[in-house]
Chain A
Amino acid sequence: MAEWLNSVGLRVRALFRRGRLNQDLHDEIAHHLAMREAKLRASGTAQPAAHARRQFGSVATIQEELRESWTFAPHLGNVLQDLRYAARMLRHSAGFAVAVVLTLGLGIGANTAFFSIVNAALIRPLGYADADRLVAVHESFPESNLEHLPFSPLDFEDLQRYQEAFDGVAAYRSIPFELSGHGLSEQVQGARVSASLLPTLGVAPIVGRTFSTKEDRPGVHVAILSWGLWHRRYGADPAIVGRRITLDRRAYTVVGVMPRTFVFPRRGPRVNHEPADVWVPLAFTDRERVERAMNLTNSVVARLKSGVSLEMAQAQLDVLSGQIAANYPSVVLNAGFRPHLSAVPLREDISGRFRFPLLMLLAAGGFVLLVACANVANLMLSRAAGRNRELAVRAALGAGRGRLMQLLLCEALLLSFAGGALGVTLAYWSVETIPAVLASSVPGLQDVTLDLRVLAFTAMTCVATGLIVGLLPLATLDRRSPGDALRADTSRTTGARQRPRMQQAFVISAVGLAFVLLVGAGLLLRSFSALIATNPGFRAAQVLTVSMTLPQTTYNTPASVRTFHRALLGGLGSVPGVRYSSLASDFPLGAVGNLRFEPEGSALASRVTPMTNLTSVQGPYFETFGMTLRHGRFFTEEEHLEDRRVVIVNEKLATRFWPGENPIGKRLKWGSVDSVSPWLTVVGVVGDVADGPIGVEPDVHAYQPFRQAPDFFLDRRVKTAVLVQGNARALSARIREEIARLDPQLAIESIAPMEQRLRDAFAPRRFSTGLVMVCAAVALLLAWIGLYGLLAFSITERRREIAVRLALGAEPRAVAGMVVAQAARLVAVGLIVGFVASLGVTRLVTSLLYETNHYDAMTFVIVPLVVALAALLACAVPAWRAASVEPLKALRAE
Chain B
Amino acid sequence: MEERPRKADLLQGTLELLILRTVATGEKHGYEIAEWIHVASADALSVEEGALYPALHRLELRGLLTAQWDVSENNRRAKYYRLTASGRKRLSDTTESWRRTSAAINRVLDAT
* A-binding segment of B11-19, B55-63, B94-102, B103-111: B55-63
A32 near B49 (CB under 8 angstroms)?
yes
Set of chain A residues within 8 Å of B50, measured between Cβ atoms: 56-58, 61-62
Q: Is B86 interfacial (CB-CB < 8 Å)?
A: yes
Given contacts A24-B79, A398-B3, A407-B1, contact A35 B61 (CB under 8 A): no
B99 to chain A, nearest CB (A): 24
Pick from B30, B58, B63, B86: contact of A69, CB under 8 Å: B58
A34 near B53 (CB under 8 angstroms)?
no
* Cα–Cα, bound, A62→B5 (Å): 13
B3 near A403 (CB under 8 angstroms)?
yes
B85 to chain A, nearest CB (A): 9
B19 to chain A, nearest CB (A): 14
Set of chain A residues within 8 Å of B34, measured between Cβ atoms: 32
Mark each residue of chain A from 56 to 85: 1 if its CB lies under 8 Å from any CB of chain B, else 0.
111001100110010000000010011001
Set of chain B residues within 8 Å of A38, measured between Cβ atoms: 74
Q: Is A811 interfacial (CB-CB < 8 Å)?
A: no
Q: Is B2 interfacial (CB-CB < 8 Å)?
A: yes
B29 near A31 (CB under 8 angstroms)?
yes
* Cα–Cα, bound, A56→B52 (Å): 10
Set of chain B residues within 8 Å of A31, measured between Cβ atoms: 29-31, 72, 76-79
A74 to chain B, nearest CB (A): 10
Q: Is A55 interfacial (CB-CB < 8 Å)?
A: yes
Q: Is A326 interfacial (CB-CB < 8 Å)?
A: no
Pick from B2, B53, B58, B74: contact of A397, CB under 8 Å: B2
* Cα–Cα, bound, A394→B58 (Å): 27
Given contacts A3-B86, A6-B63, A56-B49, contact A69 B57 (CB under 8 A): yes
* Cα–Cα, bound, A226→B102 (Å): 83
Pick from B2, B48, B53, B78: contact of A66, CB under 8 Å: B53
B86 near A2 (CB under 8 angstroms)?
yes
B79 near A28 (CB under 8 angstroms)?
yes
* Cα–Cα, bound, A55→B53 (Å): 14
B80 to chain A, nearest CB (A): 10
Set of chain B residues within 8 Å of A25, measured between Cβ atoms: 53
Q: Is A129 interfacial (CB-CB < 8 Å)?
A: no
Query: Chain A interface secondary structure, helix, strand, loop or mixed?
Result: helix
B1 near A55 (CB under 8 angstroms)?
no
A28 near B74 (CB under 8 angstroms)?
no
Set of chain B residues within 8 Å of A394, measured between Cβ atoms: 1
Give the bracket for the number of chain A residues in contact with chain B: 35 or more
B77 to A, closest residue via Cβ:
A27
B30 near A28 (CB under 8 angstroms)?
yes
**8 A Cβ contacts from B15-64 to A:** 29-31, 34, 48-50, 53-54, 57-58, 60-64
Set of chain A residues within 8 Å of B29, measured between Cβ atoms: 28, 31-32
* Cα–Cα, bound, A66→B67 (Å): 15
A10 near B61 (CB under 8 angstroms)?
yes
A69 near B61 (CB under 8 angstroms)?
yes
**8 A Cβ contacts from A738-753 to B:** none
Number of interface residues of B (CB under 8 A): 28
* Cα–Cα, bound, A560→B3 (Å): 92
* Cα–Cα, bound, A840→B105 (Å): 61
Q: Is A456 interfacial (CB-CB < 8 Å)?
A: no
* Cα–Cα, bound, A289→B9 (Å): 87
Pick from B49, B72, B86: contact of A55, CB under 8 Å: B49
* Cα–Cα, bound, A314→B29 (Å): 69
B54 near A69 (CB under 8 angstroms)?
yes
A32 near B31 (CB under 8 angstroms)?
yes
Set of chain B residues within 8 Å of A32, measured between Cβ atoms: 29-31, 34, 49, 53
B38 to chain A, nearest CB (A): 11
**8 A Cβ contacts from A14-61 to B:** 24-25, 27-29, 31-32, 34-36, 38, 55-58, 61
Set of chain B residues within 8 Å of A24, measured between Cβ atoms: 69, 79
Q: Is A552 interfacial (CB-CB < 8 Å)?
A: no
Set of chain A residues within 8 Å of B3, measured between Cβ atoms: 397-400, 403
A61 to B, closest residue via Cβ:
B50
* Cα–Cα, bound, A394→B3 (Å): 10
* Cα–Cα, bound, A754→B34 (Å): 92
Set of chain B residues within 8 Å of A398, measured between Cβ atoms: 2-3, 5
B63 near A2 (CB under 8 angstroms)?
yes
* Cα–Cα, bound, A704→B49 (Å): 100
Q: Is A7 interfacial (CB-CB < 8 Å)?
A: yes
A888 to chain B, nearest CB (A): 43
B4 to A, closest residue via Cβ:
A61
Set of chain A residues within 8 Å of B5, measured between Cβ atoms: 398
B28 to chain A, nearest CB (A): 12
Given contacts A3-B62, A6-B63, A398-B2, contact A62 B78 (CB under 8 A): no
Set of chain A residues within 8 Å of B54, measured between Cβ atoms: 62, 65-66, 69
B48 near A57 (CB under 8 angstroms)?
yes
B31 near A7 (CB under 8 angstroms)?
no
A50 to chain B, nearest CB (A): 15
B1 near A7 (CB under 8 angstroms)?
no
B77 near A36 (CB under 8 angstroms)?
no
Given A57-B49, A82-B1, 6 further pairs, Cβ under 8 A: A3-B64, A32-B29, A32-B53, A36-B49, A398-B2, A403-B3
* Residues in B lying within 8 Å of A, measured CB to CB: 1-3, 5, 29-31, 34, 48-50, 53-54, 57-58, 60-64, 69, 72, 74, 76-79, 86
Ordered nearest first, which 3 A-B pairs have the shortest CB separation?
A: A57-B50, A6-B63, A35-B31
* Residues in A lying within 8 Å of B, measured CB to CB: 2-3, 5-7, 10, 24-25, 27-29, 31-32, 34-36, 38, 55-58, 61-62, 65-66, 69, 78, 81-82, 85, 394, 397-400, 403, 407
A-B contact pairs, 17 of them (CB 8 A): A5-B63, A24-B69, A28-B30, A29-B53, A31-B31, A31-B79, A32-B34, A35-B74, A55-B49, A56-B49, A65-B54, A66-B54, A66-B57, A69-B54, A69-B61, A398-B3, A403-B3
